[in-house]
Amino acid sequence: MLQLTKTLLFFVLFTCTLVANSQNKQDQTTICNPINLSYRFCLDAPSRREAADPTMVTFKGEYYLFASKSGGYFHSTDLINWDLIATNDLPIEDYAPTAVEMNGELYFMASKNDPPLTIYKTADPKSGKWQVVNAAFPIGMTDPDLFVDDDGRLYFYYGCSNVNPIQVVELDNKTLNPIGKPVAVINSDKKNYGWERSGDYNEVGKDPWIEGAWVTKHNGKYYLQYAGPGTEFKSYGDGVYVADKPLGPFKLAAHNPFSYKPEGFIGGAGHSSTFQDKYGNYWHIATMTISQKHMFERRLGLFPTFFDKDGVMYAHTGFGDFPFKMPTKKINSPEELFPDWMLLSYNKPVEVSSELTDHPKKFAANEDIRTFWSAKIGDNGEWISMDLQKECTVNAVQINYAENETKVFGRQPDIYYQYLLEYSTDGKTWKTLADKTQNKADVPHDYIELAKPIKARYVKLTNYKVPSGTFAIAGLRVFGNGGEKAPSEVKSLSLKRSATDRCVVDLNWPKISGAVGYNIRYGISKDKLYQNYQVLGTEQVTIRSLNAQQKYYFTIDAFNENGITKGTNIIELN
CA angle 247, 249, 254 (to 5 degrees): 125
88 occurs within a structural domain: yes
CATH code for position 54: 2.115.10.20
| pLDDT of 3 | 45
Let me know whether 297 and 363 are in one domain.
no
CATH code for position 520: 2.60.40.10
Residue 507's domain comprises: 494-573
Let me know whether 368 and 458 are in one domain.
yes
The whole-number average pLDDT for the span 317-340 is 97
Q: Is the pLDDT of residue 5 over 50?
A: no
15 occurs within a structural domain: no
The whole-number average pLDDT for the span 401-406 is 98
7 occurs within a structural domain: no
Contact 408, 417 (CB under 8 A): no
Let me know whether 131 and 156 are in one domain.
yes
Q: What percentage of the chain carries pLDDT values higher than 70? A: 95
Let me know whether 163 and 298 are in one domain.
yes
d(CA 312, CA 7) in angstroms, rounded, equals: 51
Let me know whether 181 and 294 are in one domain.
yes
Q: What percentage of the chain carries pLDDT values higher than 90? A: 95
CA angle 189, 193, 196 (to 5 degrees): 80
Q: Is the pLDDT of residue 13 over 80?
A: no
The whole-number average pLDDT for the span 420-432 is 98
Q: What is the 3-state secondary structure (H, E, C) of 320-389?
A: CCCCEECCCCCCCCHHHHCCCCEECCCCCCEEECCCECCECHHHHCCCCCCCCEECCCCCCCCEEEEEEE
Let me know whether 567 and 428 are in one domain.
no
DSSP string for 508-552: E-PPPTT--EEEEEEESSTT---EEEEEES-SEEEE---BTT--E
Let me know whether 388 and 506 are in one domain.
no
State the pairing for strand pair 62-68/445-465.
unpaired
* Residues 57-109 pLDDT 10s: 999 999 999 999 999 999 999 999 999 999 999 999 999 999 999 999 999 99
| pLDDT of 26 | 56
Last residue of a domain, one of 441, 460, 481: 481
Let me know whether 328 and 368 are in one domain.
no
d(CA 175, CA 107) in angstroms, rounded, equals: 13
| pLDDT of 6 | 41
433 occurs within a structural domain: yes
| pLDDT of 202 | 97
Let me know whether 436 and 510 are in one domain.
no
* Residues 271-314 pLDDT 10s: 999 999 999 999 999 999 999 999 999 999 999 999 999 999 99
* Residues 185-199 pLDDT 10s: 999 999 999 999 999
Last residue of a domain, one of 337, 354, 372: 337
Phi, psi of 521 (to 5 degrees): -110, 135
Residues with Cβ < 8 Å from 191, sequence gap 6 or more? 548
Average pLDDT, the chain: 95
Last residue of a domain, one of 293, 310, 337: 337
4 occurs within a structural domain: no
Residue 338 CA to its chain's centroid (Å): 17
Let me know whether 107 and 209 are in one domain.
yes
CATH code for position 396: 2.60.120.260
| pLDDT of 482 | 98
| pLDDT of 292 | 97
| pLDDT of 18 | 42
487 occurs within a structural domain: no
Domain count, the chain: 3
| pLDDT of 205 | 81
Three-state DSSP state, 283 = strand
Distance (Å) of CA 152 to CA 194, 265, 275, 563: 37, 42, 18, 48
CA angle 28, 34, 37 (to 5 degrees): 70
d(CA 450, CA 471) in angstroms, rounded, equals: 24
